[in-house]
Amino acid sequence: MNDYLQSIIKQFNYYKSLGEKTFHQIPDEKLFWKPNNESNNMAIIVKHISGNMLSRWTDFLTSDGEKEWRDREDEFNNDISTKEDLLLTWEKGWTCLFDSLNSLTSEDLSKEIYIRNMGHSVTEAINRQLSHYAYHIGQIVFLGKLISNENWESLSIPKGDSTIYNKEKFNKPKRKEHFTDDL
């Protein structure tokens, strides 16, 4: 179970880094661009992820993950106006998440917690949140690709480089490590 905790922390860090690498490629004013009125811009997605993180991970083991003080509807109103504010909002959520995850023990993983009065094992709740954040960070990356177009720098294996990438991987001996260890 300690392997699970270490792995999940690395996985959350990986998705955090994808968002941050996207933010660094985008001109500040484009963080607020959206392709149409029904879409969210990066700032709104960040505000939503952060609001969710603060609600879910505050008192993670002892209170319902949907806090009474959370205003989910307001998360979709963009009141972030600068890149600095966006990054502060982003960090606030991630700090709450990592503080909570780093406090967990193997024994905690079998405990039951609640999200909107629905019971989850701690591992189930963690996996639920990882999926939710990966979904939204994928949206951030997609928006980044739309904005950057031909100037986009790939966050994974660039198009046309799969053969080279795989050759480098298979030239190494078999080993056990997290896939993010050599990124």
Domains annotated for the chain, with CATH where assigned, are: 2-182 (1.20.120.450)
pLDDT at position 1, please? 63
116 phi-psi bin (left φ>0, alpha ψ -120 to 50, beta other)? left
pLDDT by residue (tens digit) across 73-126?
A: 999 999 999 999 999 999 999 999 999 999 999 999 999 999 999 999 999 999
Q: Cα–Cα distances in Å, from 11 out to 49, 127, 133?
A: 16, 10, 11
Q: Please tell me the predicted confidence (pLDDT) of residue 2.
A: 77
Q: Report the alpha-carbon angle 45-51-52, nearest 5.
A: 90
More confidently predicted of 12 and 158: 12
